Amino acid sequence: RDPASTSLRTPIVAVLGHVDHGKTSLLDKIRGSAVIEGEAGAITQHIGATAVPLDIISTIAGDLVDPDDFDLPGLLFIDTPGHHSFTTLRSRGGALADIAILVVDVNDGFQPQTLEALDILKRSETPFIVAANKIDTVPGWNENEDSPINDTYESQSDRVRSRLDEQLYEIIGNLSDEGFSADLYWRVQNFQRNVGVVPVSAMTGEGVPDLLAVMMGLSQRYMKEEMEIDVQGPGVGTVLEVKDEKGFGTTIDTVLYDGTIRADDQLVVGGQNEPIVTDVRALLQPRPLAEIRTESRFEKVDEVGAAAGIKVAAPELDEAMAGAPVRVVRNRDLNDVIQEVQAELADIAVDTGEEGVVVKADTLGSLEAMADALDEAEVPIVRAEVGDVAPRDVSVASTADDPKQRVILGFNVDTLSDAERRAEADDVTIFTDEVIYQLIEEYEEFVEEMEQ
The binder of ligand GTP chosen from 9, 13, 14, 17 (CB under 6 A): 17
Residue 402: C-alpha distances to residues 103, 328, 451, 452 (Å):
42, 46, 12, 15
What's the CA gap between 324 and 329, in Å, rounded?
A: 16
Peptide bond into 95 cis (omega under 30): no
The answer to whether the CB of 391 falls within 8 A of the CB of 343 is no
Sign of CA dihedral 375, 377, 378, 382: negative
DSSP 234: B
What's the CA gap between 39 and 127, in Å, rounded?
A: 30
Question: Of 175, 345, 215, 368, whose CA–CA distance to 270 is shortest?
Answer: 345
The reply to whether 48 sits in an annotated binding site is: no
Q: Which residue sits closest to Mg ion, CB atoms considered?
A: 24
Chosen from ligand GTP, Mg ion, none, partner binding at 406 (C-beta under 5 to 8 Å by type): none
The reply to whether 80 sits in an annotated binding site is: yes
**x/- binding map, residues 138-177, to ligand GTP, per CB under 6 A?**
----------------------------------------
CB closer to ligand GTP out of 18 and 46: 18
CB closer to ligand GTP out of 80 and 405: 80
Is 85 near ligand GTP (CB under 6 A)? no
Question: Taking the complex as a whole, how short is the minimal distance between the CB of residue 82 and ligand GTP, in angstroms?
Answer: 2
Amino acid at 447: V
The reply to whether 23 sits in an annotated binding site is: yes
Residue 49: C-alpha distances to residues 46, 96, 164, 410 (Å):
5, 13, 31, 27
What's the CA gap between 274 and 319, in Å, rounded?
A: 9
CB closer to ligand GTP out of 201 and 278: 201
Site for ligand GTP in 44-73 (CB under 6 A): none
Chosen from Mg ion, ligand GTP, none, partner binding at 19 (C-beta under 5 to 8 Å by type): ligand GTP
CB closer to Mg ion out of 23 and 311: 23
**x/- binding map, residues 192-231, to ligand GTP, per CB under 6 A?**
---------xxx----------------------------
Chosen from Mg ion, ligand GTP, none, partner binding at 9 (C-beta under 5 to 8 Å by type): none
Neighbours of 157 (CB within 10 A): 11
What's the CA gap between 114 and 16, in Å, rounded?
A: 8
What's the CA gap between 390 and 392, in Å, rounded?
A: 5
DSSP 286: E
Q: Which residue sits closest to ligand GTP, CB atoms considered?
A: 82
Question: Of 189, 134, 126, 205, whose CA–CA distance to 163 is shortest?
Answer: 134
The binder of ligand GTP chosen from 9, 23, 90, 360 (CB under 6 A): 23
Chosen from Mg ion, ligand GTP, none, partner binding at 136 (C-beta under 5 to 8 Å by type): ligand GTP
Site for ligand GTP in 253-312 (CB under 6 A): none
Residues that bind Mg ion in the complex, under the rule CB under 5 A = 23-24, 81
CB closer to ligand GTP out of 23 and 360: 23
The reply to whether 83 sits in an annotated binding site is: yes
What's the CA gap between 5 and 149, in Å, rounded?
A: 40
CB closer to Mg ion out of 70 and 86: 86
Question: Of 413, 448, 412, 410, whose CA–CA distance to 429 is shortest?
Answer: 410
CB closer to ligand GTP out of 135 and 172: 135
Q: What is the DSSP code string of 347-413? A: HHPPP--SS-EEEEESSHHHHHHHHHHHHHTT--EEEEEES-B-HHHHHHHHT-SSGGGSEEEEES-
The binder of ligand GTP chosen from 5, 35, 81, 421 (CB under 6 A): 81
Chosen from ligand GTP, Mg ion, none, partner binding at 232 (C-beta under 5 to 8 Å by type): none
The reply to whether 81 sits in an annotated binding site is: yes
Length of the chain: 452
The reply to whether 82 sits in an annotated binding site is: yes
Is 364 near ligand GTP (CB under 6 A)? no
Given the rule CB under 6 A, which of 21-29, 242-250, 340-348, 408-416 is the region that contacts ligand GTP? 21-29
CB closer to ligand GTP out of 82 and 270: 82
Is 8 near ligand GTP (CB under 6 A)? no
Strand partners, 250: 244
CB closer to Mg ion out of 15 and 61: 15
Contacts of 217 (CB under 8 A, 6+ apart): 191
C-alpha of 247 from chain center: 28
Residues that bind ligand GTP (CB under 6 A): 17, 19-25, 81-82, 133-134, 136-137, 201-203
Feature table: binding site for GTP: 17-24, 79-83, 133-136
Feature table: binding site: 17-24, 79-83, 133-136
